[in-house]
Homo-oligomer: A and B are copies of this chain.
């Protein structure tokens, strides 16, 4: 999970597609690999942006912090995802980007990124899919932030994350591990950690999910959980998961 500082990579995933990084056009993927320790910020809101971050391994989060210090996670950024924190001015970052776990990333200046996209239609298409998936996720989550109950928000989060982990090979049948605290889930769903706890316990009590040590989740009754989340898992997967070309 924690490769050495300047790790050598040969193949790299963007969305559902794999790229051979020996291609000179994609050189930047090889020469800009960085290892980031857990809980470290890669970038903070208002700082100099103008670069994108491709995740090779690990979990990142994007977030915003209110003036009173409350945090809202905007998205989790997983293997094959591309975080673009750039605001409308094209220069500053409009988001915090933080490593949730130890992570391996490529950080690429926007100018170079644009060159790469222009040179590789396949990369451009993969990037399109990744962006579309992110937009779809944000919309789904905004719907629940604005209109959903605590149960619905958390149920949705569990389903979304399980669907995203599946193509990464991190979903075993109906079980998966979340490298998150209840506070993370609260910041993700707009709830307090206390209420996340209560709600998860209720799910467990009702037999909808099971939990083992530190966020090993097992969905026991996907039908019930989907009902609570207000979601059809198959349709959702198609909308938020990048597909191979």
Contacts and interface: CB of A to CB of B under 8 A. Distances in A.
Contacts of A190: 145-147
Nearest to A187: B146
A136 B243 CA distance: 26
A143 interface: yes
B243 A72 contact: no
Contacts of A118: 118
Interface stretch (A20-28, A29-37, A85-93, A207-215): A85-93
A95 B235 CA distance: 13
Contacts of A218: none
A230 interface: yes
Contacts of A47: none
A10 to B, nearest CB: 26
B238 A64 contact: no
Identical copies in the complex:
2
A239 B64 CA distance: 13
A68 B132 CA distance: 25
A66 interface: yes
Interface in A68-117: 68, 70-72, 74, 84, 86-90, 92, 94-95
Q: Give the interface size bracket for A toward B.
A: 35 or more
Nearest to A232: B67
A227 B86 CA distance: 25
A142 B238 contact: no
Contact of A89 (B92, B145, B243): B243
A189 interface: yes
A13 B67 CA distance: 34
A142 B141 contact: yes
28 contacts: A64-B140, A65-B143, A66-B230, A70-B147, A71-B147, A72-B142, A74-B138, A74-B139, A74-B143, A84-B132, A86-B132, A87-B133, A87-B136, A88-B129, A88-B136, A88-B238, A88-B239, A89-B238, A89-B239, A90-B132, A92-B238, A94-B132, A94-B136, A138-B138, A142-B145, A145-B145, A145-B190, A146-B187
Ranked nearest first, the 3 interchain pairs of A and B with the lowest CB-CB distance are A146-B190, A88-B133, A145-B145
Interface of A: 46, 62, 64-68, 70-72, 74, 84, 86-90, 92, 94-95, 118, 128-129, 132-133, 135-136, 138-143, 145-148, 187, 189-190, 230, 235, 238-243
